Structure formats: structure tokens, C-alpha cells
Amino acid sequence: MASDRIDVVDGDSVLVDRRVDRTWVTLHRPAERNAIDAGMVEQLHDLCAELESDPKVLVLTGGSDGVFAGGADIRQLLDRRSDDALKGINLRLFERIRSLPMPTVAAIDGWALGGGAELAYACDIRVASARAKFGQPEPRLGILAGAGAAFRLVRLLGESVAKQILLAGRTLDAEDALRHGLVLAVTEPEDLFSTADGVVDTMVMSSAKALRLSKITVDAPAAAHPHVDLLAQAVLFEDAEKFQRMGAFVNSKRARETRHA
């Protein structure tokens, strides 16, 4: 699908490709292996504000050069103190991405390490190239994976595999990630973006409101079910698009049955 426009500004840490039904965002600090710094965090917050106001599916990638994101910028981490840690600079950003109204897809080519891996975990769906690798090397630097991995990996992979990654330093390659369900698909690098677009093509065939409410129910805490499911379904049962879609389905079925009568 053709782009509406691509915003490229010298010095930008992210490149934004706005399309009719989706927004592609490319992390863009190639000289630093897309390390997540304060400037990138600020620009991604701006993007979140845009997608909260005008909801679209987000596709997030590090490009096609074999690196998704090599983690947080170590030079900036070195200068941070306990007050900075309590601000949750990366964690709050990743939580905001996690909470975007429409689904999010991470397209991962190559290394996703540290905060880069945690950014990928914050997305709803992940697709990977055959050279993708996920790892959390933070303890080797004297810190922990504090931007979501410690709790998201348990939910995504289970406690045992999560501890192998967080404590034993295990790196998951693309096939590991596929086998454990961390990624939806593994492709050759040259097919990664078309695969991600194909996932989104399937998504946008659905009702946008149904997608939004499905995401809310999936992400709701366990104690909220089944009440949140019932309330979300009640909203959709009154939605005009439900009647249009179901009416079209019934009419199409009736027409097929008439032709074969």
C-alpha cells in the first residue's frame, strides 16, 4: 500500500512512514546500532501521542541492516542514578506502546538486545528474520532488565524460559523464538517487511473497534475477566459495523444456498 508521506529529518532517531491504515516506524541510529537514547524516547512518545489521537496499527522495525536495537544507550545509562531508575524512562515508554489503542507489530531483523528486546516484547505481535536474536545481557553490566522483560517474558514464554534468558544469559535465535511462540513467523530478511505488512493486511480486514476491544480484553488483568469480556461484547453488539458485517455474511450465505438449491 502506498505511503501518504515519509518524514525524514536530519538527526531524527526514528523515521515515520504514515499510510492510510498503518504507520511504519523505523528506529534510526545506525551508527549506534539503534541504541535507545533520550532523543529516541522523546520521539517515540510523540508518535504514541499521535497514534492515541488517530489510532492506527503500528509496525515498528529497526530496518534491514541486521540490527533491531542493540539496547539502551550505555553512555547515558552510565550517568543515571537511582532517581533516574525510579522515573522508568524506558519502561514508561514501552508501557505506553503496549497500551496503544490498535495492535502493534515488531518486525525484527537481527539483534534485539536489552532494551531493544524489551521494546519488541512490548508489541502485540512479532515477526522475525532468520537472523534475529533476542537477549538480555543487563546483569553483565551490573543492572537488570528493568524495562519490562522481568514480567513480560514470564507471560510470553513461561517462568522457566524467562529465567534462562534473564539469569543464565540464554539468547533465543529466530527458530527458538518461533518454537516458544515469541514470534508469529520467521522469514528471510528480504521478506520481513512484506510479511509484517501481510499480518497487518489480515488485521485491518477486521472491525477496528473489535480489534481495539479485543486488545483491551486480552490485556486486562485476570481478575477483570469475564466482566470486561461481557462489557466489550455488549458494546460491539450495538455497533453499526457489526450489523453491516453480519448482514453481509448472512446475505452472502443465503445467495450461495439459493444458487445451489
183/166 Cα distance (integer angstroms): 18
164/171 Cα distance (integer angstroms): 9
Catalytic residue among 138, 188, 190, 238: 138
Give the global pTM: 0.91
What pLDDT does 10 receive? 45
pLDDT exceeds 70 at position 3: no
What pLDDT does 11 receive? 59
Task: List, for residues 164-202, the tens digit of each pLDDT value.
Answer: 999 999 999 999 999 999 999 999 999 999 999 999 999
241 is catalytic: no
Catalytic residue among 118, 175, 188, 257: 118
178/184 Cα distance (integer angstroms): 7
Which sign, positive or negative, has the C-alpha torsion 166, 170, 173, 176? negative
List all residues 6 or more positions away from 163 whose beta carbon is below 8 Å from its beta carbon.
none
190 is catalytic: no
99/58 Cα distance (integer angstroms): 12
What pLDDT does 12 receive? 87
Task: List, for residues 70-87, the tens digit of each pLDDT value.
Answer: 988 888 888 889 998 899
pLDDT exceeds 80 at position 145: yes
pLDDT exceeds 90 at position 256: no
213/231 Cα distance (integer angstroms): 10
Query: Angle CA(122)–CA(152)–CA(130) in degrees, nearest 5?
Result: 65
